[in-house]
Structure 1
Amino acid sequence: MQEDRHDTEAGVAEGAFRRIRGDIIAGLLPPGKRLRLEQLKAQYGASVSTLREILNRLASENLVVAEGQRGFEVAVATPGNLREIADLRLLLESHALRLSLSTGDLEWEGRVVSAHHKLSVVEAQLLNGDMARTAQWVRYDFDFHAALISACDSRTLLDLHASVFDRFIRYHMLAASFRGAPVIDDHRALFDLAMARDVDRCIDKLTSHIRSGVDHVLSTGRI
């Protein structure tokens, strides 16, 4: 019975963590928002002690800032921080991509083909003005990039990349603007170059893809 209670509490804690983290990335908990424990308790259904653990965990990802005796608040969004995150994403993803393209097998190719197909379908819908697909696009965008590097054979590298990717995507969600045809073209080029195992050109395309994303976010004036 005690084990069942512990499993239930752990499930509640993990669920609350994922919801709070997701709401920060989606911009539903905006930059600079004070995170009051009693309000969070009512909103996310977790105890105050559990919420403290969650917020400290999010602080380790730089999504939340601990303000000493003042409590916690959502990390601010700045152009400088976006550029730092973009540099870190590029460093991690380029390394993982180089490893993945050198070892990827038929199963890896299948994952990349499937991920790109789903992404391209949603991007076509966004291009036609169906902005309700934005959240779906965010998921499939990550799935595609994750598929490209999935054969790197390093769980630690994949986990670090996923965390940094989410922090990068938060800026796109705050900008609330789809880049349009250029991002679709980028993804198609990345797909083609990956399938051809053209490592250097694929990394060059990834570099321009991430840099263009930063420029687009900043051009909206919302950061």
Structure 2
Amino acid sequence: MADDKQIVEEGVGDIAFRHIRDDIVAGILQPGIKLKLDALKTQYGASVSTLREILNRLASEHLVVAEGQRGFEVAPATADNLREVADLRLLLESHAIRLSLQTGDLDWEGRVVAAHHKLSVVEAQLLAGEIDRTAQWVRYDFAFHNALISACGSRTLLDLHASVFDRFIRYHMLAASFRGSAVMDDHRALFELAMRRDVGGIVDKLTGHIRSGVDYVLSTGRI
């Protein structure tokens, strides 16, 4: 019975971890709010001990701040941190994309084609005014960038990139608006450069893509 209870708690903990993490990235749990264990227990259906473990895991990803005896709060959002996260994303993604373009096979090309098609459809819908597609766009944006680097050959690199990407996307969710046709043009260019295996060109385009994302978020005045 004890083992069964532990298995159930681990399952609940995994679900709660993903739910809390997603709510932070999506901006539902706003920067700086106190994460009170009793309230979280009711909201996410996990025990206090499990929630402490979850919040410590999120603190290691810099999505939560541990305040010693004072508990936990959602990590603040600042312009300096946005720039820092952008630099880290660029470092990881540039390295991974170089490796992918050098070693990617036909299956890799298929993943990139499929991911870009889904992303471009949703971006066209957003440009047409369907703003309820924003959350879907976030998923497909990550799927496209992840497909581009998926042939890098390093699970550790992919996992690190995914964590940093979420921290970057969090700022876009807090800005609460779509970047428009410029981001769609960037994604099309990244796709075409990937298909041509143009390493130098795609790294240059990726650099501009991430930097313009930072400028856009800051221009909204919400950070």
Q: TM-score range by the shorter chain?
A: over 0.9
Unaligned runs of 5+ in 2: none
Percent identity between matched residues is 78
Instruction: Specify the alignment match of 2:162 in structure 1.
Output: 162
Map 1:130-209 → 2, pairs under 5 A = 130-209=130-209
1:52 aligns with 2:52: yes
Residue 48 of structure 1: how far off its partner (Å): 0.4
CA offset digits 1:152-182 (Å, max 9, x no partner)? 0000000000000000000000000101000
For residues 1-26 of structure 1, give each alpha carbon's deviation from its aligned partner in whole angstroms, at most 9, with x where no partner exists. 44332221111000000000000000
CA shift digits 1:91-141 (9 cap, x unpaired): 000000000000000000000000000000000000001000000000000
Q: Note the C-alpha offset of 1:193.
A: 0.2
* Paired residue secondary structure (1:65): strand
Number of corresponding residues: 223
Q: Does 1:91 align with 2:91?
A: yes
CA deviations 1:30-50 (Å, max 9, x no partner) are 000000000000000000000
Task: State the Cα RMSD in Å.
Answer: 0.6
3-state SS of 1:31 partner: coil
| 1:32 aligned residue | 32
Q: What are the superposed Cα offsets for residues 24-71 of structure 1, whole Å, 9 maximum, x if unpaired? A: 000000000000000000000000000000000000000000111110
Say which SS state the counterpart of residue 76 (structure 2) adopts: coil
Q: How far apart are the structure 1 equivalents of 2:53 and 2:136?
A: 29
Letter in 2 for 1:62: H
Q: Which amino acid aligns with 2:107?
A: E
Residue identity opposite 1:183 in structure 2: V
Instruction: Give unpaired runs (5+ residues) of structure 1.
Output: none
Runs of 4 or more, structure 1, over 6 Å off, are: none
After TM superposition, list the pairs within 5 Å mapping 1:91-130 onto structure 2: 91-130=91-130
The residue aligned with 2:17 is: 17
Distance across 1 between alignment mates of 2:160 and 2:104:
20
Whole-Å Cα distance in 1 between the matches of residues 152 and 69 of structure 2?
43
Give the whole-Å Cα distance in 2 for the aligned partners of 1:75 and 1:15.
21
Question: Counterpart of 1:153 in structure 2: which amino acid?
Answer: G
Q: Distance in 2 between matches of 1:177 and 1:40?
A: 28
Q: TM-score, normalised by structure 2?
A: 0.99
